[in-house]
Structures are given as structure tokens and as C-alpha cells.
Chains A and B, each alone.
Chain A
Amino acid sequence: MQLPDAEQLCTSLVSQLRAQVTPDTAIVGIVTGGAWLAERLHRELGLKTPMGTLDVSFYRDDLGKSGLKKQVLPSQVPFEVEGRPLLLVDDVLYTGRTIRAAMNELFDYGRPARIDLAVLVDRGGRELPIAAQFCGARLDVPAGKVLVLERDEAAGGKLVLQLSAQRRKPSSAKGSGK
């Protein structure tokens, strides 16, 4: 199937977000794809607050099924969460379970004023009442296929959407339900 150009979706997200962010807004990306996207948005929007990254592995609800992935990265939240508007960023929104885990983790840092969600692609298939306020594109992806964001370092960090046949093993992937 034809996948949209991630770079174009990224530009569209930036224009949607420009009017919405405040000087207080902090951006938090979910590793790995969401963190790459957050990095890009943070730069393009010129946000002053340093960006954060979350690895939600310790908050996932499927530990018993998939085990703990091999490389859990430390979450970095280099700002006060208490009372702050947060923009949570992920590459692909699917079941909503990753977002639930991310929100639970954020609340362990404090009580944010609000959390908005920005994603590059919403592929439907929600299993939880979660919605993205900002979305690059909606896309029907057949169940059983995995849509992920890749970063091409050789091409200067160009973002590319990739479709693969099946879920990668938790040992090598971000272990999400995408």
C-alpha cells in the first residue's frame, strides 16, 4: 500500500500546532519514533522548555505477554510537570495502550495542567477511549501489519513511514501494539 510522506505530515503537524502551543508548553516524545518526531516539532516550533522523552516499558500492560524489551531507555523529563500544559507526541496511534502507559508515567512526575496528543498517523483500531487532538493523517492499516516511523540517518535524519508484516519481537522493537 502507498504510505504518506512522513516529512509532509510533519510539516502539516507543525502548522496545526503553531497556534496552539504556549510559552509554557512542554513537549514529550515516546521513544523511539515519537521522540524523533518530538525532536523535530520542538525545533520547528521553537519551544523554550527542553523536550522530554518517555520509554513507557515499565508502565505497559502487556509485560506478562511480551516480557521486558532489551533496551529500556531512561525516561527524561527535564522540566516541572506540575501545572504545565504538555504536548505528548507519538508516531502512530493505534490501540491507545501506549498513550495510556505514557499518561500514567507522566502523572508520576506531577499533575500537568493538561495533556494534548499529537501523532503523525492515526491508524484507528482503538481499544481505549483515547483520541489525538493533532494528527498528520488518518490511515487504514490492515490488522496484523505494523506501521512504524524510521529515521534515515544517512539522509540527514529524514523521517520515513514503514510497513512491516508482523510485530517485531519485544527484544528489538519499542514493543508497542502498533
Chain B
Amino acid sequence: MRNPQLNAHGELQHLLTIEGLPREVIVHILDTAGSFVGITERDVKKVPILRGKSVFNLFFENSTRTRTTFEIAAKRLSADVINLNINTSSAAKGESLLDTIDNLSAMHADMFVVRHASSGAPHLIARHVEAHPHLHVVNAGDGRHAHPTQGLLDLYTLRHYKQDFTRLSVAVVGDVLHSRVARSLIHGLTTMGTPDVRVIGPKTLLPEGVEKLGVRVFNDMNEGLRGCDAIVMLRLQNERMKGPLLPSAQEFFKSYGLTAEKLALAKPDAIVMHPGPMNRGVEIDSAVADGPRSVILPQVTFGIAVRMAVMAILAGQ
């Protein structure tokens, strides 16, 4: 079966997941993002490449940061941006979702940026709009499944600071079970040939069979951090926790919070990443989050350039 995100020529038609994305497509996105970083530092932070195109931000699940960065990215490409925050509490989501899409398609949308609590919703939309080849779908996070632009901006950040993926040791720490960020990053890292990807967390917060993704699994954070080049902390997703997976946030911090002492176990030049928003004192200590090894704010800046790159490439297909 054809990869649903690629067109017949193997070019990117939608961005739904990093899983299965060819290496050269990822490299193209990262390289293009590199050129957009310079534009965001100019006086006029805008290029005309998406002029006259309409980008619809469809957020069926709240997210201020991701929505804002997509909005800024689209505006810097000169697109018209329409933000729709759609409450999902209504019944019959499947029906109403595709009805919404049909209505927006009739308004001559060019791109849908979709955030949805259900895994696979962006796929469903992409399949639904197959008859309109000018329409592109970008997954801005679906359920526990994928968050490809976050994964790509993490890859961009790693490449910016560490250059060569094939020499890297990257540790992903925390609530991997609920994390679409972790899944997207792990697929990206393995596609880019990263030899050592580690996941660190309590058994209750690691998905069963996670080692099949090609990662090494650690339940002891001290052991897992030893000698790594980059640490990616995940947010403890309180709102997703069902049942007693953890004793308490304090307990979690003791075992899996990133402190200066734990950071000292990684390589001396190791960088600290976090997709945000951070829970200070839960998964990361303030001293580390604001410390010299933290690249958490550069991640946000790169995130805009990466989203610009994705939208520019899609619009060119």
C-alpha cells in the first residue's frame, strides 16, 4: 500500500507521522527549515511563498503553543490563517469531523493543520480529501499517536547542536506511554540512523514492547543517562493519567526528575530538551530548565522555522 502522506511521485502530500517517512524527506524539511531561521531574524519576517493560500488551524484539542507557532509560521509565509477551536465534547465526532472538513473545503481551504485527541483523526481527514490534490493536511498532534512537527523540530535542534545523528546517544525520559512527542522523535531518530536511543521511565509509564522501536529501556534514570549527548524530558501528562500509575508528583521527581546531579551523569556537553509546557519540580528542576545546557527556548524558535518548512514544501506539491 502507498504511504498515505506521499503522492504518486513520492513527494510529501500530507504530514501525518514521522513513522515511515523517507530519510531524504526529513532531510529536505530540516534543510529548508535552516533557510527559514534566517528569515525570522530579519526586520521583515515574511516571505510571499504562501500568499493567497488559506491555512485552517483545526484544534479539536486545546493547545495554545502549538496553535500559535503554526499560526506564526503560516503568517510568515504570507498565508491567510483561520483558527478554529472546536469543542469535541459533542457526540458523533466522526460524522461531525468530516462534515466540518467538507464545509471548510467548500470555502476553498488549501491546508488543514489538525490537532485531535483521537489517534488517526488526521489520517481520516487526509483520506477524506483525497479527491482534492491541492489540499494538504498537517498533523499537529493526534491522541497518543504522533506529533510529527514536534519530532522534526527536536531533530532540527539535535542536528543544530550535535550535527551528526550517526554518533549520537539520546535519552528520552518520563511519561513515554502517553507521549506522541516521544513516539515521533524515536521514529525520526532511528530513520536518521541514531545508533543509541534510550527511553527512561517507570514501568507503568513505558508502553509495552517499546523496545521493538529500536530503543534501549531503562527504569533507573541514573543508569540511563550515563554518557548520553542529549536528554529529552517529557511532560508528565497529568490530564491523561487514568488510575494510579504513580504515587505522587514528588515521588516522580525524586526518581525521574532532571536535576543538576543527574545531568552530571550525561556527557559534559549534553543538551537538555523539553517539548513544553514544563512542570517545574515534577519532571525538571528549575535550575536545569534555566541552566546553560538547556535548549528549550531555542526549540520553540526552531519550531516556527520547521513548521514554515513543512507548509512551504506541502504547498509546492
* Interface, chain A (partner B; CB < 8 A): 55, 57-60, 63-64, 66-68, 70-76, 104-105, 108-110
Residues of chain A lying within 8 A (CB to CB) of residue B313: 67-68
Contact of B46 among A55, A64, A75, A108 (CB under 8 A): A108
Contact of A67 among B11, B35, B48 (CB under 8 A): B11
Do the beta carbons of A73 and B35 come within 8 Å of each other? yes
Query: From residue A109, how far is it (CB to closest CB) to chain B in Å?
Result: 7
- Which residues of chain B from 15 to 65 have any CB-CB distance to chain A below 8 Å in the complex? 28, 31-32, 34-35, 37-39, 42-44, 46-49
Query: From residue B284, how far is it (CB to closest CB) to chain A in Å?
Result: 32
- Decide yes or no: A58 and B312 within 8 Å by CB, A72-B31, A110-B43 being known contacts: yes
What is the size, in residues, of chain B's interface with A at 8 Å between Cβ atoms?
Answer: 21
Give Cα A67 to B314, complex, Å.
8
Residues of chain A lying within 8 A (CB to CB) of residue B35: 55, 57-58, 72-75
Tell me what chain A mostly uses at the interface: helix, strand, loop, or mixed.
loop
Residues of chain A lying within 8 A (CB to CB) of residue B214: none
Do the beta carbons of A59 and B32 come within 8 Å of each other? no
For residue B134, which residue of chain A has the nearest CB?
A64
Do the beta carbons of A59 and B48 come within 8 Å of each other? yes
Do the beta carbons of B37 and A63 come within 8 Å of each other? no
User: Which 5 pairs of residues, A with B, have the shortest CB-CB distance?
Assistant: A67-B316, A58-B47, A108-B44, A68-B316, A74-B38
For residue A73, which residue of chain B has the nearest CB?
B35
Do the beta carbons of B38 and A63 come within 8 Å of each other? no
For residue A70, which residue of chain B has the nearest CB?
B28
Give Cα A108 to B42, complex, Å.
8
Mark interface residues in B293-317 (1 if CB within 8 Å of A CB, else 0): 0000000000000000000110111
Residues of chain B lying within 8 A (CB to CB) of residue A105: 47
For residue A74, which residue of chain B has the nearest CB?
B38
For residue A108, which residue of chain B has the nearest CB?
B44
Do the beta carbons of B37 and A104 come within 8 Å of each other? no
Residues of chain B lying within 8 A (CB to CB) of residue A63: 49, 312, 315-316
Do the beta carbons of A59 and B38 come within 8 Å of each other? no
Residues of chain A lying within 8 A (CB to CB) of residue B312: 58, 63, 68
Do the beta carbons of B39 and A58 come within 8 Å of each other? yes
